[in-house]
Chains A and B, each alone.
Chain A
Amino acid sequence: MISRAFPHIKKVYVYFFIIALLYCGTFLVPLFIPTNGSIDTNAQITTIKKTLSEFLDNETDIFNKKTSAVKTILFSESEGKLTNNIIFERINRLSSSLWGIYFEIYNSNNQLFAWKNITDTAFVRNLNYSKRKFSIIKNKSILYSFKVDSINVNGQKFTAMYYRILDKNYIDENNNTFTKLINSKNKLNASVFVISDNELTNTQLKLLHRVNNDIFFSVNNNYNKAADNFFEKINFIRLLLLFSFFLIVTIKLFKSLDNVESDFYKFCLLFILLFAFRYLLNLISFPAALLNGDIVNPAIYSTNFGFGILKSPFELRITIFFVLIYLIILLRFVVKNNFSITTKKRKLVLFLLLLFLWIEITSLYYFVDSLFVGGGIKYFKIIDVIPNFISFFMLFNILLFGFNVLLAILITSLLIYKNYLQSLAYAKWIMIFVFILMLSINALLLRNSLDIYTNAALTASLYFLSRYVYKTTFNKVAFYIYLSLCASFIMIIKMGSISSNAEKHSAKVAYLEYTRINQSWIKFLIQNNLKSIQTDYLEKKENIDFKNEAFEIWNKSQIKSENLISEFYFLDSLHNYIDGVNFSFPYGYSKNWAIEDSIYNGKIDIDKIPNSFDEIISGVVCVDSIRKFYLGITVKYNKFSYNVVSIPQIIIKDDIDKSNIVNIKDFEIITLLNNRIINNSSNINPTITELEDILKNKKKEYFTNVKINDEEYEFYVNNHHDESGKSTYLFGYRKSNYSWFLYDFVRIFLFHVAIILLVLSFYLLIIYLRNKEIKFNYQARILTIFLFITLVPLLILAVFFRNVNTLKIDDNFRIAMSRDIDKISLYLEKYSYYSVGNLRDIIIKANNDLGLNFTLYKNDRVKFSTFYDYYYFGNLPKIINHKVYFRMVLQNAEEQHVTYRINAYPIKASYKKIELNGEEYILELSDLTNSNYVSINSAEMDLFIFGSYGFAVIVIILLIVLLTNKISYPIIRLTEVTKKVAKGDLNIKLILNEKGEIAELVDGFNQMVSELKVAQEELAVKEREAAWREMAKQVAHEIKNPLTPMKLSVQLLEQAYKDKSPQFGSIFEKVINTVIKQIDILKNIASEFSVVAKFPSTKIEKIVLLDILNEVIKLYSGDNLAFEINCSSVIEEFRFDSEQLRRILINLIKNSKEAGATLIKFNVEQSSDDTILYVIDNGRGIEESIHNKIFEDKFTTKSEGMGIGLFLTKTILNAFNSNIELEKSDKTETIFKIILKRDNQ
């Protein structure tokens, strides 16, 4: 259509014109829509109101259904009175879908009767809730769906209050769960906050006014969704247009490459072309710009190399894909040319090949290095057994990269071997030497230590793969499976060997992170935080909840993000402590602000704690100038220790990616001041003598090995000088304790195997869809059966072992917790008995002395807790877990172990009854605030089981493969040999080192073949005699044929002479011509038969089939015949008579030419014993009815033919244990298959 519309312009230019027009058009579009970000406020409010209403209706619906279900279960009729015992039993029977509903049930006396997971609902009881049916309520930072219901069961009256948590604003203020909930549900892109009336600012819109004036929804009003969507679409169209343009240009250039004569330059240009296209895609960020998330996040993976084409996991994949395309094109080309290079500049090409080999080896080393330096070490320390998507994506990238590099190295090595080394003695050993030399140069130039394991794996893989492709072809699926497995193996070995470097890098990063939080930074953070608080911050507020205010300020501060050991509090006009929050801030370290400190703003005090290196950095600011309230912030700092505290995950964002920062606890850290150990956060106690070398060394930073208690440690050392003297920081790790374990290796290898199987399944599916069947050979079938038989029991065993271990770990965990809970109870009972201070002081003392955090419940409520703030803000339920209450209070159990969840984090807790000052309490100890119980978690255990069982699986698979080969090898050999016998090769003998039935089978087979051979020889003698007799008959017959016209002509001449015919002259001339012609025919007959009768003496020598093909083709250079040679693998030299082979080829070409062929193709393949040559022409073809006669003697379809050519060809080939067959012949093409036996002596 385009050609018709624009007849004078090439089609491609029309495409360009259209693309350019559309691209320009995209810039005009914004003229027709508003672009200034202004919005139709009313319309937007209506939309969001509608969306919120729909959401609330939906929430009401779900909430009502769930609460009705809960009500039905809890309040179903029972025999007798409904006790709380019965209700608690029923709570335990609630299905998991109802676990998200919390409730508290009050009896007619307004006493709490039963409950489930209550957080902090005291505020609700202050409201006039009896009139409400459903509402949204907010307390502190938590948002609930809420409902009150009255129940009457057999005259018993209850009031039930149900809750469902919608949002916890303290988790992430800017992107709260409620916003996510509404946006994902309604495909809306608004920011929705739930705030109180007094929090509403001018920039926010009051949208929906719910019950009792306490809740508002607000959205930011600077949003134009329509415009945003529109511009996204426009950008998408622009990207597509640019991509189309680049694609068309690249395709056109690619096609033009055919014009380049030199193959070398052609591949150089192809490389430049693909690189340019890849780079252009990177410039327009296509298709990366259309994606988001970790897949395009440079923090996950990026490297300095590559001008941005390796800047994210996705870009890396695209680049690897481009390299793969290049390698496939290159592979096809070199295989077609049998890896031969025809150039005059052989030295230059050799230099370039060696250079490429070095680059390929180096790229492998650089890439793995970049995975550690550029991507962190997270891919190799995947905590879960099943990796997340991005880890899986990167593992796939690693496999693909290894595949590419190994394929490139294989191609380059084969090119060097075939063209420069093959003719030399010990060629294979020289090639191996060259390869090892390149590896050594690589290590030398990169200043790496020689990586023996990787180099050995690389050399071995290369040797194995080269041997494989020499024996078979590149077309076999098995070759690519072997290549992938070798690639995985090499990459993993390399990653393992480089992990020591990664540990070094980690030690330095650990030091940086350790010292990043310094005095200057803390001072600045406090100062900045105080500065951001307005002097009238509290002025407008009545009934101030100081604790909550302090929590809110801490929650928004950078001090929280840095997890500093801190205290946020309010002071009154007399500088007395009112209330506040503290995060692991030591008891007794609180700052005492003197009354004379009247000017507070910007003032930062640093108080040194006597007899320690601890410092208290404090600042204070006035927040209510009328009532004189002050906000104080105090942070504890110690130059020689890590100043970060672990804050429970229930109150911090769960999406912070801290995997790039090393876990400081993994290192042995020792800090020294003026060569004296100040802080030792390690499991080792080095003596000063052991550290002598470090103490003497004055370098600013370095790595060193130190032997401590006969164990080798590697340390990163940093010396720092200031006014207090020389501070030395040592960050070390035990060298034998690298993070690289067996199961890391096994796990990644198994992932790679899974990827390979996935790709293989995909390939088999395509084959099945195309051919409607998949053929598995005998070996593959045995392998599958064995795998099934062995792996299924192993899997069952692994699951069983895991369950047993889970129970064991749980038991150990309980024992450890019971031990500690006993310790606490004894401590509390002892001190309360002697009445040392009040209970609160005893608890604080126990917390400090025992280093354990715990909670005391009185009846059902929290009475004391060492982390009471978490209860206060509703992060933890203030009422005891319903299961514990049921078992310990109602059923009088003494001890309980329970696992419950807060914000999806599982918390394990132990409970014990204790008596203090005559009152009964329940003591709770949980792993939420006591991290010392984590000996081995379930993820680590899964990893261990996966590792050990994975290793077993690999060993089993290897054994099965070996066993399968052992079992199937005789059958496979027998099949191969039988096929050869079927083709007429009776000289063959099957030799197998087998015993028993297989040996008998082999002997029987060999005997059968030898008997067949004797019979065939006898038959051949008889046939030969018969043939000679027949030939003699034929010779006589053929000679008779010209003799008759000769005789007749001579008789005619005699008659004319006798008759003195006037035409004697012309008759004489005619007769003479006839006689001469017939004599020529006789001569032809004689020469043809002489060829049949007398073979030239055979001369067997080593020949290169492709050379002979090229020589023969040259003979036909003047003719209008085109030739093509294709090889599917490296073609080995073999022994044959070159002269006879030429004769055969000439004969076949002559036949094709006479059949009107214009193109003759020679396709060469190689099996283990034979070289197979297919001669394919596009001539008229041979009629099907005579297919079985063409190799017979004297059979011809030509008027002047003798019927000897093909007979002769077959005879010659058979003499060399080879054969020729007509594979196919029709009007379009004729295929002759020549099987050349390679082991001719």
Chain B
Amino acid sequence: MVKINQLLEINYGFLVQIMYFRIKFFLNMKKLSVIVFTVFVLIISLTSHLYADDNLKASIQNVKEGLIENSIRKFLNIFEDNCYLSLNNGTTGYFTKNRIYYIMENYLEQYKITECDLNSTNLDGNITNVAGKILYIYNGVRYTSDIYLSFKNISEKWYISQLIIN
């Protein structure tokens, strides 16, 4: 027991001290170090952005997997920035990518999609419409709904311009 106690003897004051020195270190850094650090952070943030896929099939597959696995990140980057969203929980409107992330996350928390079949596609110029069915569980009860997606080709990349679950 004594050993365990010693093992756990990293007191909170120590943690606070570590944070304290971190801040102090940053504030006392030389100008050059600050510039290097800032540039590094900027590069990391800018390059972390993923771009839309030029392969439509792969994008559709990502949407399917993302919906079933409740992982919006799988297809978040292929949403157009002013995307039309209409969901069967009453949400309707044009949203930015980030807001779509939160809205879809909230939606998929409540509507647990177990199956997603996107079978009907139609390519018309630079627009591809996709339709299918989803099977979901809401409040413990299973339902089916229609799902519609519209992809728009912008600079050889396919972006989702509307997502409708009705």
Contacts and interface: CB of A to CB of B under 8 A. Distances in A.
A8 B1 contact: yes
B24 interface: yes
A46 B2 CA distance: 59
Contact of A656 (B90, B139, B162): B90
Nearest to B131: A528
Contact of A558 (B27, B103, B125, B164): B164
Contacts of A303: 98-99
B8 A13 contact: yes
Given A312-B102, A512-B84, A520-B129, A223 B12 contact: no
Contact of B131 (A220, A223, A268, A524): A524
Contacts of A225: 140
A203 to B, nearest CB: 9
A524 B124 contact: yes
A271 B146 CA distance: 47
B50 interface: no
Interface in B87-131: 88, 90-96, 98-99, 102-103, 105-106, 109-110, 120, 122, 124-125, 127, 129, 131
Contacts of A222: 141-142
A225 B141 CA distance: 9
B13 A259 contact: yes
Contacts of A189: 139-141
B15 A253 contact: yes
The residue among A191, A222, A292, A528 with the most chain B CB atoms within 10 A of its own CB is: A528
Interface in A1-57: 6, 8-10, 13
A527 B166 contact: no
Contact of B125 (A9, A311, A520, A528): A520
A265 B23 contact: yes
Contact of B20 (A265, A297, A374): A265
Contacts of B129: 520-521, 524, 528
A561 B17 contact: no
Nearest to A658: B92
Contacts of A656: 90, 92
A8 B2 contact: yes
A854 to B, nearest CB: 32
Contacts of B142: 220, 222-223
Given A189-B141, A224-B140, A299 B91 contact: yes
A9 B7 CA distance: 11
Interface string A478-494: 00000000000000000
Nearest to A304: B98
A348 interface: yes
B92 A297 contact: no
Contacts of B96: 304, 373
A176 B93 CA distance: 24
A588 B52 CA distance: 46
A195 interface: no
B70 interface: no
A37 to B, nearest CB: 9
Interface string B1-25: 1101100100111011101100110
Contacts of A289: 109
A661 B141 CA distance: 30
A255 B12 contact: yes
B8 A256 contact: no
Interface in B39-69: none
A688 to B, nearest CB: 31
Contacts of B11: 256
Given A257-B16, A265-B24, A661 B90 contact: no
Nearest to A660: B93
Contacts of B120: 527-528, 531
B102 A302 contact: yes
A528 B129 CA distance: 10
B148 A297 contact: no
A189 B140 CA distance: 7
B105 to A, nearest CB: 8
A249 B15 CA distance: 11
A269 interface: yes
B91 A297 contact: yes
B84 to A, nearest CB: 6
Contact of B4 (A9, A174, A298, A655): A9
A272 interface: yes
A252 interface: yes
A644 interface: no
A190 to B, nearest CB: 7
A513 to B, nearest CB: 7
Given A223-B140, A658-B92, A298 B124 contact: no
Nearest to A520: B124
A661 B93 contact: yes
Nearest to B24: A265
A298 B99 contact: yes
Interface residues of B, number: 55
Contact of A8 (B5, B17, B122, B141): B5
A283 to B, nearest CB: 12
Contact of B12 (A256, A272, A304): A256
Given A558-B146, A658-B92, A268 B23 contact: yes
Contacts of B84: 512-513, 516
A304 B8 contact: no
Contacts of A558: 146, 148, 164, 166
B108 to A, nearest CB: 12
Residue of B4, B12, B125, B127 contacting most chain A CB atoms (<10 Å): B12
B143 interface: yes
A1181 interface: no
B82 interface: yes
A259 B19 CA distance: 13
Contacts of B150: 521
Given A8-B5, A189-B139, A253 B145 contact: no
A376 interface: yes
Given A259-B13, A524-B131, A376 B146 contact: no
B89 to A, nearest CB: 8
Interface in A648-678: 655-661
B128 to A, nearest CB: 9
A228 interface: yes
Contacts of A660: 91-95
B27 A311 contact: no
Given A190-B141, A272-B19, A9 B91 contact: no
Given A528-B120, A561-B166, A512 B20 contact: no
A561 B86 CA distance: 10
Contact of A298 (B1, B27, B86, B102): B102
Given A8-B2, A660-B92, A259 B141 contact: no
B106 A298 contact: yes
Contacts of A655: 90
B158 to A, nearest CB: 15
B110 A292 contact: yes
A298 B103 contact: yes
B120 to A, nearest CB: 5
Interface of A: 6, 8-10, 13, 174, 189-191, 220, 222-225, 228, 249, 252-253, 255-257, 259-260, 265, 268-269, 272, 289, 292, 296-299, 302-304, 308, 311-312, 348, 373-374, 376, 508-509, 512-513, 516, 518, 520-521, 523-524, 527-528, 531, 558, 561, 655-661
Given A9-B8, A509-B94, 12 more contacts: A174-B145, A190-B141, A191-B143, A256-B13, A296-B106, A299-B103, A508-B82, A520-B124, A521-B150, A558-B166, A656-B90, A657-B91
Interface of B: 1-2, 4-5, 8, 11-13, 15-17, 19-20, 23-24, 27, 82, 84, 86, 88, 90-96, 98-99, 102-103, 105-106, 109-110, 120, 122, 124-125, 127, 129, 131, 139-143, 145-146, 148, 150, 161-162, 164, 166
Q: Which 6 A-B pairs have the closest CB atoms?
A: A660-B93, A298-B102, A524-B129, A228-B140, A304-B98, A520-B124
7 contacts: A299-B91, A302-B99, A304-B96, A311-B102, A516-B84, A520-B124, A657-B90
